[in-house]
Structure formats: structure tokens, C-alpha cells
Homo-oligomer: A and B are copies of this chain.
Amino acid sequence: MQNGSLRVIPLGGMGGIGKNCNVIETDDDILIVDVGIQFPSEEMLGVDVVIPDFQYLEERRDKIRGIVITHGHEDHIGGLPYLLERVSAPIYAPPLALGLIERKLNAATLKNTSLRTITDGQGIVLGPFNITPFHVNHSIPDSLGLAIRTPAGLIVHSGDFKIDHTPLEGRPSDMSAMARLSNEGVVLLMSDSTNSESPGYTPSESQLRDVFDQVFSRAKGRIIVATFASLLSRVQLVIETAAKYGRKIAVAGRSMEQNVETAEKLGYIRFPADTRAQISQINNLPDDQVVIMATGSQGEPNSALARMAAGRFRYAKIREGDTVILSATAIPGNETAIFRNIDNLFRRGAQVVYGRQAGLHVSGHAAQEELKMMLNLLRPTYFIPLHGAYRMLHQHARLAHEMGMPQENIFVMDNGDVLELTPEGARLGEPVPAEGILVDGSLVGDVGRSLLRDRMSLAQDGIVVVKVTINEQTGTILHQPEIISHGFVYVPEAQELLEAGQEAISGVIESYQGNGAGYEPEQVSMLIERRLGNFFYNETRRRPVVVAVVSTQ
């Protein structure tokens, strides 16, 4: 690379929501910003999480000077355990994120990894990168944007942010720090696009104070609040409202318990005296003194709320008189599960407060006017809309263009695209591998298109396994063929069909004359698989996978 040149590579976070991971690279040094995971979409059958492709980093492991984390959400920290199995690098994160990261890493990784706290205003130096974090508002306390001074100039990474003039957790996003950066001259802005489809401003978190107050003031029985486990300022708001109405707060659901524990230990959540209850104790309290903070706002079938709604949660089953507050938006793809859960809550007689109209949730991401504010404050030469599905990146780019930024200075990138910043300008280089890597169970990366296609066809019409034994010389069937069906037809009702299938197999073998040199089991099974597949399709209009196991004797 040329002197004063730089490569900026989003390894994740583009074209889909999640697994944020950005690489900033000079000739000899690499800085990584965030290492997140993404939750699988519906067609990723059996997949647990999606992580960025770390191959590019692994091949350049010696160049890595450090990993800087902007905040403690899964889509920014969840990939660390996977990356740290393959490269080692110090992690720099704000205290709360660091607390959450510590819980994730296993003992061996923890021992080998240096974890260091960063705070806004305090610069750190990593090789040629001089990084000064600045405070931003988001839906978890302790969120940072980053001013990254590089050989190619000042890069600003917005982190996940909104501009909240009355946040619950203290200070508004640090506009004056941004203004100072602007004076210095920003060569590149990389900015959060998650909410770029929403016009106007994202409402302040404190707007929820009144709404929660109203709902609490009217509730006669227990109150159950479901929200994201990581939405810690929301948790604090619920605690304060509960305290005002003389209620105690119990926490239900593992991720919520862990996050609250970590946040409380680090001082990001405070329970007023005598307001904390254990979930095992709530049945000893009068209903109108109970609040349960629960996981399950996305309808996850094993979450605390879903189990309460189904009567499967040990300490609390939803019943008449309960008020359930869903304080979250639906992540696309979860709607059906969420609505099913709401139906179940109503069926059990609860009062359920949910949906946009209820006004019980605000986004943690900047809407269009805030995004413009960021662009206007920083006046960067180049711009990468970061973090979002393609349409969000596109909308964010459009905003920048409407504000007068030349189209050729705006880069709507895909994962693995490379922006080369040189003293002469910026342009896209050769992309690097960055397709999402699927994790299923303990195996990383073996689930790809072909395996998913197999799973999809099994899911649609099931499988039929056929056992046939024939005489190697004559081809005579030695035992009645056996058919084992999984997910294809309901066997007790399909005896006739399966028997006809057995006959079809016999027919296939009888009509097959061998290849002159006896009966090759492999040829016979291919033949059976094709013919039986057609037979079942004609009979049922279903296409099960057919596996024929042919033995010869």
C-alpha cells in the first residue's frame, strides 16, 4: 500500500442486521472494531448463530493490534469467542461491555486475552491508530462512538447511536466532541443505518417514563414486563417505576438474570433499597407488589414469558389479573411467534399491553433527522453507511446525497468489500471473503447451501428408507422389502400406500435385468430411488428423499 494509505473492510454488518465487524488496515497493522454475531433467518434450518468469516483476519493475525468494542450488544460482541479461538488480540471495551464479554469467554481464552477498559475522552494508541472514544446514547448504557486517527486521516465510527437529549442514563450523545472532530477534518464517517428508514427523530427513552407510569398506576395484579435482556436502561426504568408503586422486582430468564447481575455489579443498574425479590419468592408477595422482568419479547418458545404463557414456568403462570407489558419491537421474522404468545397471554386472562400504539418502546437507533445531524456535524469527505440491511444502507446513502455529498464519495458496501483510502482519494478495491459463517452445534462453517437444501427438502416432505435384499446372481428378492418413513406420511393411515410402494420396488427389480454381470447393489438402489420417488410423487404429490439400502447375498 501507498504511504498514508488505508483499507477499510466491513466483514459483517452489511446487507443484513447483525454480526458487526469492521477492519481498518494499514500495511503492517490491523484494528478491529466490534465482533458480533447475527441470529439465523428462518431458512437457515438448524443453525444457531451466524458469525463473520474470520479467514482474512486469521491470515493476517500478526498484524492485529487490538479489538475495540463500541458497546455490549450481541451483534457487536457475540463473535469474540469464535475469533479468539483463531487469533489473539487485546480487547478494549467500555466497562459494561467488558463485563458482558468476560461472561462469554471460556477460562482458557480469558487467561490468554488482555481485557482493557476504555472510556469516552480517553485516547488509546494501537500501532498507528490513535483512538478516542466519545459518548453516544443507545439502548444499553456505556455506548461509544470512535474517533480513529489513522495515517490516512481521521475516521469517525458512530457506534450504534441515537441523539437523546433526555436519556435515562445521564448524558446526551456528546455533540461537542463531534463538533471538535469536525474542526479537525473528518476524512471518513462510518455511521449506523439501522433506523434510516424512519423519518424524523427517534423519541427519547424518557418519553417512556410517563407511559410506564400510567400502566403501572392502573394495574391491580402482578405486572410482567418483557423486553430485550440487553436493554438495560429499560430495565432501570421498570425498576424505578416499580419502586414508585411499592412493588418488588424479580428477574426471570437466564440472559436477563445474567445481564442484570453484571450491570448491577458494575453500577449500571441500581435497585432502590428493599425492591429486589428473587423469582422463587414472588408467590409469597401480594400480587400488587410484584413486577417480573422477563425475557421473551420476541416470542422465543423457551423464554420465561412464553413458558409463563403456556403454564410451564415454575414460579409464575399467567392468570387473570396479570398485566403483561411487551416493551420491544418485533425483529422481522419473529412476528408469528410474538403474536402467538400474545394470543396465549390473552387466553389466560391477562391484560396485554403491546404494539406500536401502546407507546411502550422506543428505538435505540438514530432516525433520519439524527443521521443528518451526525453527517452535518462531522462533514466527512467520504461516507460509509454502516450496519443494516441493504435497503437501510441505501436510504442512509440517499440522505447523505440529498444533503449535498457527491455520489462518488458515498460507498454502499457489502460484507467483504474493501474501501481503499489514499491521499489521492477513495475507491473500492478487490473484495475479500466475507460470507456469513453458520454455526450449528459445535461445528463452525460446515453448514452451507447444499446442507440447507437437503434440510429443506427433508423438512418439506420427509424421507423414506427402503431395505431390500436380493440374490446377487439372479436378482431375486430374498425378503419382503421394508419401508421406513420419517416425516413423509402418517404411517398408521398410510399402510396401503407403503404396501403399494413395496410392490413397486418388487416391480422395479423384476423388470431390471442387471447389467449382464449380475446385480450391482448401487445400480439397483439408484433405480429404486428414482422409481419409488416418482411413484410416491404420483400418489401423493409429495417428494420425499428416498434412500434405498440394497444388500446382496
Show the binding face of A for B, using Cβ within 8 Å.
15, 41-42, 45-46, 197-199, 330, 332-333, 335-336, 339, 342-343, 346-347, 352, 355, 357, 389-391, 394, 440-443, 446-448, 450-451, 454-456, 458-463, 465, 467, 469, 482, 484, 486-490, 493-494, 539-542, 545, 547, 549, 551, 553
Contact A454 B549 (CB under 8 A): no
With A456-B459, A462-B454, A487-B454 already in contact, the answer to whether A336 and B333 are too (CB < 8 A) is yes
Contact B455 A346 (CB under 8 A): no
Contact of A462 among B455, B494, B540 (CB under 8 A): B455
> In the complex, A450 Cα to B463 Cα: how many Å?
14
> In the complex, A330 Cα to B456 Cα: how many Å?
24
Contact of A486 among B42, B346, B394, B458 (CB under 8 A): B458
Q: Which residues of B sit under 8 angstroms from A45, Cβ to Cβ?
A: 459-460, 487
Contact B339 A391 (CB under 8 A): yes
Q: Which residues of B sit under 8 angstroms from A488, Cβ to Cβ?
A: 451
Contact A490 B199 (CB under 8 A): no
Quote the shortest CB–CB distance from A445 to chain B (angstroms). Answer: 8
> In the complex, A551 Cα to B460 Cα: how many Å?
30
Which residue on B lies nearest to A394, using beta carbons?
B346
8 chain-A/chain-B pairs, Cβ below 8 angstroms: A42-B42, A46-B460, A46-B461, A335-B335, A339-B391, A443-B540, A450-B490, A455-B459
Q: Which residues of B sit under 8 angstroms from A494, Cβ to Cβ?
A: 446
| Most central of A45, A443, A459 by chain B CB within 10 Å | A459
DSSP majority for the A interface? mixed
Contact B339 A549 (CB under 8 A): no
Contact B486 A463 (CB under 8 A): yes
Contact of A343 among B42, B335, B389 (CB under 8 A): B389
> In the complex, A333 Cα to B339 Cα: how many Å?
10
Q: Which residues of B sit under 8 angstroms from A447, Cβ to Cβ?
A: 490
Contact A446 B486 (CB under 8 A): no
Contact of A547 among B42, B461, B486, B489 (CB under 8 A): B486
Contact of A490 among B394, B446, B486 (CB under 8 A): B446
Q: Which residues of B sit under 8 angstroms from A443, Cβ to Cβ?
A: 489, 540-542
Contact B343 A446 (CB under 8 A): no
Contact of A459 among B15, B339, B458, B547 (CB under 8 A): B458
Q: Which residues of B sit under 8 angstroms from A487, Cβ to Cβ?
A: 45-46, 451, 454-455, 458
Contact B441 A540 (CB under 8 A): yes
